[in-house]
Amino acid sequence: MLTHQSFLARTYPKTSLFLVLIMFNNTLVTLTLIAAIGSGLVAGVFFAFSTFVMPALARIEPAQGIAAMQSINITAINPLFMLALFGTAVVCLFLAVFALLKSEQPNSTDLLIGSLLYLIGAIGVTIAFNVPLNDALASVKPGSPEGATLWSKYLTNWTLWNHVRTVAALISTLLFTIALGK
């Protein structure tokens, strides 16, 4: 069967570099698509927390809200969510390196900014702000006075940083999608 690549190899037998470039371009498109889907998926999860999960938890008694969020925080550490969150970050690292090395490419700016936004705005904010807040929440007893005091601050601070993560991941998705069209 004659494939596109084998046709090009026969047509340009001395240009195996040409085939490498085609395969590289396919890999770049694939990685960009994975980054767009991954960052979009993560943005959707963050968006859900910002728009209805956290507001719902704020409406119930602090002890119930704390217990529910502690359970969510434990359940969130699962292979599928970790793959989406951190697998997308790994892809973003590759795309950022490509964008820096091939800055003359028409989509390099979109890839670089999208990657940095995801890495700093989604992953960096998660590690620097949301995880420490989750760790502090994990250390309190849901029905304790300390828990109730922490919960009111937690709701405000965690949700604020989650908004930042949501916007960063959403803009990353947009930039990766734009890069696919160039």
CA neighbor of 137 nearest in space, from 149, 158, 151: 151
Helices (H), the chain: 4-11, 16-48, 54-59, 62-75, 79-82, 88-101, 108-116, 125, 131-138, 145-180
CA distance 100 to 108: 7
Joined together, the tokens standing for residue 147 give: 């828990």
Q: Which position has the token pair 């960096």?
A: 124
Structure tokens that stand for 105 in this block: 């490419």
Instruction: Read off the tokens for 148.
Output: 């109730």
Rounded to two decimals, the pTM is 0.85
pLDDT-derived band at 76, boundaries 50, 70, 90: very high
Instruction: Tell me if residue 6 falls in helix, strand or coil.
Output: helix
The pLDDT of 30-40, averaged and rounded, is 97
Among the residue ranges 8-22, 35-49, 88-102, the one predicted with the least confidence is: 8-22
Given this model, what pLDDT does residue 64 score?
A: 98
Pair 50, 163: CB distance under 8 Å: yes
Contact 118, 85 (CB under 8 A): no
Question: Over 90: is that where the pLDDT of 6 sits?
Answer: no
